[in-house]
Structure 1
C-alpha cells in the first residue's frame, strides 16, 4: 500500500519550521557542515516521491527517446514540397504530418488537414469522376486482353454504355449540391448514366442569366443615336470644312515626315531612296559611265532597227508569193 500523501498545509508548516531553525545560522553559504545540516532539514520536510511514478516517468522518457531516434532515421527520406510563389502554405499538406513525424504542431506553416488537397481542388463537372480510376490496356498482355474482350462481350449487350446525362446529376448541379462527397441516388458509382456535362452545355440558371443580359442589350443603331445625343455642340459638315480639315491633316503629316527625315539625316540613318529624294545631285555618274551607257543604248537601238527591217522583208515576200498565186488562179 503506497504511503499516505501529505497535505499542502502540513508541507508549508514543516517548511516554515525549517526556515525558523536555519534562521541566523552563521556561514550558511560557506561552511559545508552547515549546508549539510540545512539540506537534511529540507529533505525531512519534502515528501518522498512515489517509486511507481518514478518508474513510469522513466519508461515514458525512454520510449520518447527511442521514438525520436527512429524518427531521426526516417526523416532523411521525407522532404517538404516547394511552395510556389503566391500560394498559401496552409493549402499544402505537410509531408512529415502525413507520415506522423511532424513535431511542430500548430506552429507548422504547412497544413495538417488530410482533406486540404480535396478542398483546394474544384471538381470538374464536365468529366465523369468514375473514368479516372478505370484501367487502360496500355499495360495489358495478350492473355489479359483476351479475357477482357470475352467478359466485356457478354456485359455489353446487358449493360450498353450510354451518353445520356443522369437526371440526378443534373439536378445536383442545378441546385449547387454536386461535389466531392455527392453520391448518385441511382446506384452511386454503378449508375448507368453519365455524370458529366457535354461540351458547351448551358445550365438553366446560366441560361436565365444570359437571357436577362440579352434582353437588356440595345441595338447598334440605338447606341449610335444615344452617343450622338450626348454631344452637346456640333458643327454642320460642309465641303469647305472637310477640305480645310483634310488640308490640315496633310500639312501635319508632311511636317511630321520632314521632321523625321531631318532626324534620320542628323543621325546618319537614311536609306538610299531617302538620300536620292532629299538630294539627287549626290547620285550623278562620272563621264566614262555616261559614255559606256550611251554606247550600250546605241547598240541596242541598232539591233531593234535590224529586227524591224527583217520583219518588213518577210512581209513583202509573203505578199509577192500571195500575188503570184492569185495571178495563177485568174489565168486558169
Structure 2
C-alpha cells in the first residue's frame, strides 16, 4: 500500500530524489564509490556543493546581490546561538518575536550574548496566533522571528517593514512561497522539512552584516570562516547536502518557488475547507495565521478518536498525530506532498462523518 507521509520532519521528499540519492549510495556519478565514502574534497562533490549554493541564490532571486549561501552542520538549533554570536554587538541588543517552541528556544540562547528584548508573544494563548501591531526597536542589532511554527500550525503571512536587519528561521516553510528575500539579512533552515534529510542546515546571509560585533568568535561558530571556505571549513554533511542539491534541482525543474506556492495553496485550501466544513473537526490556529505547511486540527469529540485513527491508518496515512503540547492531529504538507495524499486524508475525515450520522 502507498504510504502518505504527513510527518513534520524528517519528512516527505520527492520520489525522484529518493531514487537518485539511493543510487548514489551505491555508486556516485559512476565513480565506483558511494556518496557516503566519497571525499568531500573530490572534484565531483565540490561541484555538488558549488551548484547547490548557487541554486539557493538563484531560486531566491539573490544572485549577485551581496548574499552567500552556505551549508552547515548542527541543525537550525545551533543557529539560535550562532546568530547572536555573529550579529549581536557588545553592548547592543536584539529583538525577538515569540511565536512558538523554536522561537522561545532561540530567545533562550540569545540571552547568553547580551540584551534580548521579546517585543511580542502569543505564549499566553498557547501560540495559537501570530502577534501583530508590535514595534521593533530602531536601535536593535537585528530582529529575529520564526516564519512558520510546526508545532502550533501558525505562519507569518506578512513580514515587518523595518531598517533593522531581519533574521528569519524558515526551517519549515523555506522554498514554499514567493517572498522578497532581499529584505532579509539572514535566513536559516534545517534541511529536514522542505529540502533534504536531517543533518544539513542552510544559511543565507548578507555579507555586509558580518564583522561588527566587536567580539572574537570561535572559528567553527564564525559565519565568515564558513563563507571564506565555501562551506568546506570542516567536513560537511556530504549526503545531506547532496540530497538537498537534488531537491533544489527538482524544485527548479518543476517551476521553482512560484509553482510550489500554487500547489501548496491548493493543498492547504483543500484541507482547511474540510476542517471548516466537517462538524466533527476544528482547527487550532487563528484563521488569519493558519500555516500552509503544518495543518493542526482536533476532533471536537475525543470519543471518535479510536475510530478516526483506524480510518486514516487503514488509508495508508503516516505521521498524523499532533505534537504532545497541542494534541489532536497535524498534517504536514510540504512541497513534495502531492495533493492526492491530502485528498486521501480528506476522504478519511468524510468517511468518519458519514459513519457517525
Q: Which TM class, normalised by the smaller chain length?
A: under 0.3
Structure number with the bigger relative contact order (C-alpha 8 A, sep ≥ 6) is 2
Structure 1 or 2: more strand by fraction? 2
Q: Normalized against structure 1, the TM-score is what?
A: 0.17
Task: Report the structure number with the largest CA radius of gyration.
Answer: 1
Q: Normalized against structure 2, the TM-score is what?
A: 0.17
